[in-house]
Structure 1
Amino acid sequence: MYTLHGRNPTRWDSWRWTIRGVADFGSLTVVETISNNPRTSFAPEGAVKILNALQEHILCFDRDMNIIWANSAILDTFERSLENIRRERCWSIWAERQTPCEDCPVIRAMETGSFQTIEKTSADGRCWLIKGYPLRDDRGKVIGGFETTLDISERKKAEKHLQLAFDILNRSPAVGFLWKNTEGWPVVFVTPNVTKLFGYSADEFVSGKISYEQVVYPEDLPRVMDEVTTNSSDRERQEFEHQPYRIVSKNGEVRWILDRTTIDRDKEGAILFYKGIVVDITDRIKTDRVLKDNEEKYRHLFHHSNDAIFIHDVQGNILEVNRRVLDQFGYTRNELLSLTVQDLHPAEVLEKAHWAFKTILEKGFVNFETTFKRKNGACFIADVSSSLFNLNETQVIQGIVRDITSRRKAAKERKRLETQLQQAQKMEAIGTLAGGIAHDFNNLLMGIQGRASLMAIDLEPSNPHGEHIHAVEEYIRSAADLTKQLLDFARGGKYKVRALDINELLSNSAAMFGRTRKEIAVHTSFQHPALVVEVDRSQIEQTLLNIFVNAWQAMPGGGKLSLETKSVELDAAYCRPHNATPGRYVRISITDTGIGMDDSTLRRVFDPFFSTKKKGRGIGLGLASAYGIVKNHGGLITVYSEVGLGTTFNIYLPVSDKEPRQDISAKDDLTTGSETILLVDDEEMIIEVAAAMLEKLGYRVLVCRSGPEAIDKMQSEGHRIDLVLLDLIMPGMDGGKTFDRIREIRPGMPVMLSSGYAIEGQAADIIMRGCNGFIQKPFDISELSLKVRNILDQTTARSSS
């Protein structure tokens, strides 16, 4: 007989066994008596009933892992009988293996002599808890094994769901509290995730180490308690929500929370517990504050923007506007909210507005330039930038409108100034070319004029050739007038500058013109007191008459010519493109009611030899010379015209503070002399005729053909020379350098300049340095005699004094 571990065994026939703690299979003792009875019994009938009643699968093995017994649970599950499986091995029956399972708990229990357990998942996905026990005889020797197997699939699922619930709870921002309705509201229960929010553990709250009142922010606690008291006093109220309040976590961090509390009452209505769900809303509070700050910033930017801003729907209905819109359009806010953006456009740009709507709906944005109409009907140009966005789940459009009318005007003005500057530069270049041509032409005329003058002096009055010579001189004067106009255009010079009353000068010129053009009505509007200008009277008269004639020709059927003078101040911005000096000017406005000019004509109106007149009615130098004369006087001239509406010329001349003077007529007598004159010129033709005229007048003439030659002559014979007639334009050493060297050698030597150019420019500079006079080519013998004699007599008078 073998005793298999037991305590207080009871003997039934040949079995002695003890079962202790069947529910947890803590230990099992079986005693088997070997007898002559071939039938082996495992346990008495009572024990078998107990084991068969268990849900666990129970198998009993001998030392070689042969099955010696199985309970009903496992036989029923696999539909097998005990006789069918006795002396079989479990791994061959259920695992269909040839060898034991590697992790078999029964084998490990028999090997170790101790209880073993494993969890195993079967092929059908069920989870099994398998326990193995060693079976011993009375001497403690392991003689077999005992195995229980329990299907724990549902329990595993429940554990998994429970763990998932705990995971969700721990990750949840909501913390559950159960407070008892006694003094201090002690925490009876709190969810484990309380630590994340409060920093304190659930045990610290439940044990009373920290109370809920202690974690509420001190400044918020009175309000929280008042809300509890107020809501608890209403016996009908089952739950309430606190206004957000702050708590202080264990590490001192202040957090905002939202607390929704349910009141638990007994049958009589007395409060037993408070159940609270507490949620951390710190981030939401911060976000709300940021949003509020951003909203305030946006509102400030929206209403204080220098641009007009509209919010409107995709149909154009205006939803909101900023203050700049009210200022810019002249409407009230309520008026605008009853309009569409289409109502703010003039009819001629509505098609463009429709295009903009279509584009923004396709692309989400659009930038374009258009015209808007104010409440008073005035229009302005604007740059519009619009974008599509969602507002309260509705598509709306924000349109930013920037008034660029001033910018457009500035750009137009800049373009006008650039055009004027380009015109001035073009006229300067053409003037330089025209001046050079006139200079060379005057030298040729000088040769012809000189020869004709000499021939005329020697002819008897009855000589039939005299008539031809006088005709030649008339042609020369006509040609000289032509070159004079070219030089006037080229800013050739002011000959006789006087301080004049501009009203009187304009009135006289207009009267002279009016007497010959009865079909033109002349109207004047002059500023008083009269303004004084320093001008060459004949040149300004010529300028005025050129413009008068141009106006007359633009009014073939008659019309009105209006003349106006006005004092104006021109600033640097206006003067810069005209190369003029800022300051006070008199503006002479000459307006006709003629046919006007188109843009292409306006661009060329001052070009020399440009004319729209028929052949024989002009050569195109009148307005060109007017331009040059005005520029030469330090002024500027502009023109405005529209086809069919007439033309206005504005002449600006600097105002002088001098008193006006009367013109003095020059005496035109042929005078002679006997002094010695040094003639300096590089043109052989000029030398010949000028020397001949001087000699004809009785003077002794020395000739030099260059500046260096004249210097040598001055050094060798300067003491015999009474006057130098010096050409201005010569190769190498020009007239200016020659003049300076002559004055170094003979400081008081009288010098008269001669040039095909006018007195302005280089000649004027030399006059300012002390040169005694100037004579312009071509000159005749009468003009030469007068100017030479005047300089010689003035020099003699100074020497005598």
Structure 2
Amino acid sequence: MNERGTPRENRQVQLRRLRNYSIWLGAFWTMLVAISLIINYRHQQEEAHSIILAEARAALAKDLHYRDWAESYGGVYAPVTGKNQPNPYLAKHPERDITTPSGKKLTLVSPAAMIRQVFERARNHPEVSQGHITSLTPLRPENAPDPWESKALQAFQRGASEVSGIETIDGITYMRLMRPMMAHDPCLTCHHADRRTNGLTVRGGISVSIPVAQVEKAMETTMAGIAIGHLFFWVMGLTGIGVGARNLIKKAAVIEESELRFRSTVEQAPIGIAHMSPEGRLNLVNRRFCDIVGCPPSEMLQRTIQEITHPDDLQAFEDHVRLLLEGKIKTYTAEQRYRRADGSAVWTILTLSLVHGTKGAPAYLIGVVEDITERQKLEEQLHQSQKMESIGALAGGVAHDFNNILTVIIGNAALMQMNLSRDSQLMPYLQQMLDAAERAAGLTRGLLAFSRKHAISLVPVDLNTVIQDIKRLLLMVIGEEHELAITPSPEKLTVLADVGQLEQVLMNLAVNAHDAVPEGGRISISTGSDTIDSERAAAANVSPGTYATIVFSDNGTGIPKENLERIFEPFFTTKAPGKGTGLGLSIVYGIVRQHNGQIKVYSEVGYGTTFRIYLPLTRETQLAEEETAQLFPRGTETILVAEDDENVRKIVVDVLEAYGYRTIVAVAGDDAVAKFRQHQEEIALAFLDAIMPRKNGWQVYEEIQKIRPGVKVLFTSGYTDEIIRKENIMADKAHILTKPVPPSLLLTKIRETLDS
């Protein structure tokens, strides 16, 4: 369930939504009615056009039949009157004029003239159809075409057989229709056969114009009826939409009221609530349930309860769901873990019940979940802290008494050694006794550190400096087959600490990481700060406040869950016999507690382990270290320093430059060759790391020997020279300094090589 506003706001949103739906539905209905009206209007227009065109074709057909009849007789003879004068265009016709026996003069009226006279009589009656005979080359002025007829005659020349269109003449709208007028054989008696088509001669055209007023009036009457019908349906539709919307709004208000009561109850509940199908599909979840599982509602509703249940608890959960569905139990309550999106587990108390449908079949399950993770963690931390305090007190007492015994043993053994000669047969046995006693003393010191009874000297130190200074030693412990990444905090972190003890903590953690991380693995150390509130401080038995943090992580095999609670216990170890004492992490725990700090561990099998150490920050000023200059060999020569580790490179350069040498720095093998080629005349000696990226030390040596034979070289490596030679990386004659290299040894060897 998503977050909602107040009930009033939700109701207003629902009402607005329904009103909008009603408006859109009304608009859609109006659009449908309008489209129907437009379609009917266009249909009526097309029907009216078809009717008037049919009338025009009928009228034109009548005129053409009349012309055909007149043509069949070659014209008629009529008395000569003022309106019927002899046709001057038929002057060459021998029978144009005749006189009857009674002396009456008659003249030949051509078919075209007969039709023209009929058309002229119709012009006095504009309400009836109008006709006209015309041509692009008229012989009579009255036969001249108007613009529309000219276009039609031109179309006939292109092969058209009929042209029609609506046009207004003298304010009256007509349907105009025109067809070409053909001169048949009888007409050729008077007309020249100048153009023929299939035996017929095209002689202009004959047109007819039919008034459309009556048809338009009929169409308007029909459209008025159609419009009234559409208006009726439109009003009825809008009324239905309005009434339906009003009823829906009333019902929605009642439903919304009920839903809001349910939603507010579920959403504001301080416990997680979820509805799920009998198969486990989540149908409804509240905010608290999403917060517990650490997954947004949109994603949660795409998952099943089985997917988020911890695998170790899944079988018991499914067994009890089956009992619920079978009706053997009413409810199910148990502690159960869920897997969060980040992979962590959250402890809850789950109460599950079944809801039946109207027909009695299982409808859905209701789960009520209470998060008890923090409470359980606090209880576990309190129990662990109390247990470690008890073990620490026991370890302190044992170590104290054991130290007294060791004091007697070592004291007497030393007296015996002083009173025996070096050649005595007992001397080797005595030395073995002293060595064993020293190792036993180391164990007791670890126990005392664990029990916080070992005297330490707390002084203000910069945590970042401590981490950086011990990096070389850590590299020796973990080996160069592993990657070590150190990320100091950008802020200065001053704590009250015993540097030696802190270094022992880091060394012990490095030893454990070395055994857990496979070859090529990664170990990372970072520093920072964090604030511990009163609740966390009470559970960890420390004071609340701001703490500096050391995060020591590896990507090794991880620690099984069943061992996490015991790793700080003395003498607890999962290593093979003879491979560990079980005191490493217990000593780490004791030193951290002795520094008023706290240590936590997070681990998952297959993903590695992270130790997080908290040390109280202090405002005391860090004591300045007084450096005393030592008399080591000096020089002025130029030395090429090729080292891929930035911190090692920097300390070598600083030492050499402090004693007068000039340096040229390279960060990889190919870079070393390039720098040597560039400064070959200046460089007196090349100080090369045996293992570097993009060419190892020996490959660099071989290439610079080709550039300048006889150049002096000194190698260094984190591996021992036996391992280097075993891997065939260096030749037998190479001089190798094994890291870490003390400044005195570095300066001495540099000087010896230069002077050789």
TM-score, normalising length from structure 2? Answer: 0.39
Say which one has the larger Rg.
1
Task: Looking at secondary structure, tell me which structure has more strand per residue.
Answer: 1
